[in-house]
């Protein structure tokens, strides 16, 4: 049902693009920046988890509505995952996930000059996993070693959740933004193990036109 709702929103949005372009109510852009990701477990398993830092980026299309309201659709490559430090050892295990993520957002602009100012965004997202790997890192007598293995069988293919953020348009072409993304689906496929959802805090700088 959620996928059908997101598809319906996308079709309506795309149908409005030709008219919006004719009236100059359409904005497009590209953005990229660091994402700080971790997981939220269904129950605490006692592990020492830390945020993973990786790059996120992509583009967006925004359609102005009435007054300060607009709708925005992003197409992003986003990292997810976490880093686990094993107790009483120099071994760490990093879950390295990457998704194609499509947020569908409502944007509200603060009263501002024509070419700059604050805004807030919020909405939902749908994501398709494009990569899943587990990296093991070991330090033994100051010598570092490790392995990286595929983990696709352990992670669900699809994810969905909500997004909230704020940003600032600088002049006509530059934008800076921060957003928090919270998954709602348990993406752990390993039987009889603790379920978890994705979450991330992302900061991006972009060029808009």
Q: What angle do CA 203, 206, 209 make, to 5 degrees?
A: 150
pLDDT in tens, 85-115: 877 777 889 999 999 999 999 999 998 766 7
Where residue 54 falls (left for φ over 0; alpha for ψ -120 to 50; beta otherwise) is beta
Instruction: Pull the structure tokens for residue 33.
Output: 């920046």
Chain centre distance of CA 144:
31
Residue 194, φ and ψ in degrees, nearest 5: -70, 130
Determine the pLDDT at residue 138: 79
pLDDT band with cut points at 50, 70 and 90 for residue 11: low
The neighbour count for residue 192, using CB atoms within 10 Å, is 4
pLDDT in tens, 179-188: 999 999 999 9
Pick from 171, 98, 153: nearest CA to 129: 98
Q: What's the topology of domain 2-208?
A: Porin (2.40.160)
Residue 65, φ and ψ in degrees, nearest 5: -110, -140
């Amino acid at each position: 049902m959620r996928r059908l709702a997101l598809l319906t929103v996308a079709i309506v949005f795309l149908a409005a693009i030709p008219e919006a372009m004719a009236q100059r109510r359409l904005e497009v852009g590209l953005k990229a920046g660091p994402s700080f990701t971790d997981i939220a477990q269904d129950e605490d398993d006692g592990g020492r988890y830390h945020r993973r830092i990786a790059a996120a980026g992509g583009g967006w299309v925004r359609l102005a509505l009435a007054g300060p309201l607009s709708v925005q659709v992003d197409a992003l490559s986003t990292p997810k995952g976490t880093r686990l430090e094993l107790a009483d050892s120099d071994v760490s295990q990093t879950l390295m996930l990457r998704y194609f993520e499509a947020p569908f957002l409502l944007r509200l602009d603060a009263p501002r000059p024509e070419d700059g100012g604050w805004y807030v965004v919020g909405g939902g997202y749908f994501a398709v996993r494009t990569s899943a790997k587990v990296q093991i890192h070991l330090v033994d007598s100051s010598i570092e070693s490790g392995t990286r293995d595929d983990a696709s069988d352990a992670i669900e293919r699809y994810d969905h959740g909500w997004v909230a953020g704020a940003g600032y348009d600088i002049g006509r072409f530059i934008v800076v933004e921060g957003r928090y993304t919270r998954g709602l689906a348990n993406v752990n496929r390993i039987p009889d193990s603790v379920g978890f959802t994705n979450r991330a805090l992302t900061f991006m700088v972009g060029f808009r036109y």
